[in-house]
């Protein structure tokens, strides 16, 4: 049997870009996604871009029988685990749904992997596990903090479960990838982020204002101790993020144990800098109003990406202008996303 990579959540935003990168690198890919926050159209577009097809299985990571049948039918070399719920505000309203999907679902997946003797895993973690950072930039040796919401806690819990797993069984080879703020889209404008309803995140919100779907952006606070008073984040192009997964995959396949890598650019930008970069790239005005701080937000957060650069041989190749230009192309070509 040909060796395959199983991508859970592969129809979603980061998963679809990574599926594309895997197919382009010659991997055989199986996507498992319950389409809770995505559409199969993303994978049809991936096929259009690269001329290769990922096997799609509609289903849930919490379905142990389904997982067992996937591992029995395919020779899986590694799992890239993106599947989960990710809306911070919703996680406060529905904590059990978040713990069930993100924590219980991950446990079922890891049990099925172990039963099938598949021990190579890349897990989608988040910079949110650092909580309120004590120092900047944030390196992997910074202690994890106290995430301010159930979503963030679910990511930290899975990290801790995986650390225990790696201690209990030496065959596990695990990459914990802590993403900073993923933005942007494939240069073709065929795949990109397709949020449900009104976006929570800054860049999708800006682009929906720019395209005329939303009236104006609310800037959450301009009294932070930052360059211009607005929040500073490390925005990373989704294509660079996808490539980071390929690099991590190559490393874990050749080793064992558990490793954490930050995937960020090392450069922070404020909300006002983001607005102005978008306006320049898109040549449209983005009306905004400064409002109160959003509860749970931190002032600033950017990565020290040295460890990933040195150990994964990975480097970001897209700058802020690329992120904004590609976001805008995707938004303009697909004002209603995938139409899911």
What is the closest distance, in whole angstroms, from the C-beta atom of residue 44 to ligand WQD in the complex?
Answer: 26
What is the closest distance, in whole angstroms, from the C-beta atom of residue 219 to ligand WQD in the complex?
Answer: 4
Is residue 231 a contact residue for ligand WQD (CB under 6 A)? Answer: yes
Catalytic residue among 98, 99, 130, 151: 151
Per CB under 6 A, the list member of 71, 123, 205, 261 interacting with ligand WQD is 205
Cα-atom radius of gyration of the chain, to the nearest Å?
19
Taking CB under 6 A as the binding criterion, the range among 2-10, 198-206, 257-265, 324-332 that sits at the site for ligand WQD is 198-206
In 82-135, the DSSP E strands lie at 120-126
Per CB under 6 A, the list member of 24, 63, 297, 311 interacting with ligand WQD is 297
For residues 61 and 271, which CB has a smaller minimum distance to ligand NAD in the complex?
A: 61
Question: 233 is in the binding site of which of ligand NAD, ligand WQD, none (Cβ under 5 to 8 A by kind)?
Answer: ligand WQD
Is residue 209 a contact residue for ligand WQD (CB under 6 A)? Answer: no
Contact 238, 185 (CB under 8 A): yes
Question: 101 is in the binding site of which of ligand NAD, ligand WQD, none (Cβ under 5 to 8 A by kind)?
Answer: ligand NAD
Question: 105 is in the binding site of which of ligand WQD, ligand NAD, none (Cβ under 5 to 8 A by kind)?
Answer: ligand NAD
Question: 205 is in the binding site of which of ligand WQD, ligand NAD, none (Cβ under 5 to 8 A by kind)?
Answer: ligand WQD
Q: What span, in angstroms and rounded, lies between the C-alpha atoms of 54 and 147?
A: 35
What is the closest distance, in whole angstroms, from the C-beta atom of residue 145 to ligand NAD in the complex?
Answer: 15
Nearest residue to ligand NAD, using CB? Answer: 12
Quick one: how far is CA 178 from the chain centroid? 9
Nearest residue to ligand WQD, using CB? Answer: 231
What is the closest distance, in whole angstroms, from the C-beta atom of residue 245 to ligand NAD in the complex?
Answer: 10
Active site residue 151: yes
Nearest partner of 332 among 210, 238, 214, judged by Cα = 210
Nearest partner of 260 among 146, 160, 133, 147, judged by Cα = 160
Taking CB under 6 A as the binding criterion, the range among 28-36, 106-114, 212-220, 254-262 that sits at the site for ligand WQD is 212-220
Q: What span, in angstroms and rounded, lies between the C-alpha atoms of 183 and 239?
A: 9
> Which H or E run includes 277?
helix 271-282
**21 token code pair:** 């990168």
Question: 36 is in the binding site of which of ligand WQD, ligand NAD, none (Cβ under 5 to 8 A by kind)?
Answer: ligand NAD
Phi, then psi, of 271 in degrees rounded to 5: -60, -45
Contact 207, 335 (CB under 8 A): no
Q: What angle do CA 87, 181, 82 make, to 5 degrees?
A: 60
Residues with active-site annotation: 151
Binding site for ligand WQD (CB under 6 A): 86, 88, 126, 128, 152, 181, 200-202, 205, 217-220, 231, 233, 271, 294, 297
């Amino acid at each position: 049997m040909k060796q395959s990579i199983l991508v859970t959540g592969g129809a979603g935003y980061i998963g679809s870009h990574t599926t594309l990168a895997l197919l382009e690198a010659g991997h055989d890919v199986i996507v498992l996604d319950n389409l809770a926050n995505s559409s199969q159209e993303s994978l049809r577009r991936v096929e259009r871009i690269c001329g290769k097809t990922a096997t799609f299985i509609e289903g849930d990571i919490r379905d142990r029988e389904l997982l067992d049948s996937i591992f029995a039918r395919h020779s899986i070399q590694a799992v890239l685990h993106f599947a989960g719920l990710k809306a911070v505000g919703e996680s406060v309203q529905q904590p059990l749904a978040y713990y069930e999907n993100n924590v219980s679902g991950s446990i079922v997946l890891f049990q099925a992997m172990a039963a099938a003797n598949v021990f190579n895993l890349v897990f989608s973690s988040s910079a949110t596990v650092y909580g309120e950072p004590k120092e900047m930039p944030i390196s992997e040796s910074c202690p994890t903090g106290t995430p301010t919401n159930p979503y963030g806690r679910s990511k930290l819990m899975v990290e801790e479960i995986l650390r225990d797993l790696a201690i209990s069984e030496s065959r596990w080879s695990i990459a914990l990838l802590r993403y900073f703020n993923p933005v942007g889209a494939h240069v073709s404008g065929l795949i990109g982020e397709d949020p449900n309803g009104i976006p929570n995140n800054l860049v999708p919100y800006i682009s929906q204002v720019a395209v005329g779907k939303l009236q104006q952006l609310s800037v959450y606070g301009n009294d932070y101790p930052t360059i211009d008073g607005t929040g500073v984040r490390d925005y990373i192009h989704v294509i660079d993020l996808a490539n980071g997964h390929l690099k991590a995959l190559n490393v874990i396949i050749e080793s064992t144990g558990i490793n954490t890598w930050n995937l960020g650019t090392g450069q922070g930008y404020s909300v006002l800098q983001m607005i102005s970069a978008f306006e320049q790239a898109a040549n449209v005005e983005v009306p905004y109003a400064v409002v109160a701080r959003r509860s749970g937000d931190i002032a600033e957060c950017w990565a020290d990406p040295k460890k990933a650069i040195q150990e994964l041989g990975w480097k970001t190749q897209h700058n802020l202008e690329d992120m904004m230009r590609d976001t805008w192309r995707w938004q303009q070509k697909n004002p209603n996303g995938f139409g899911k």
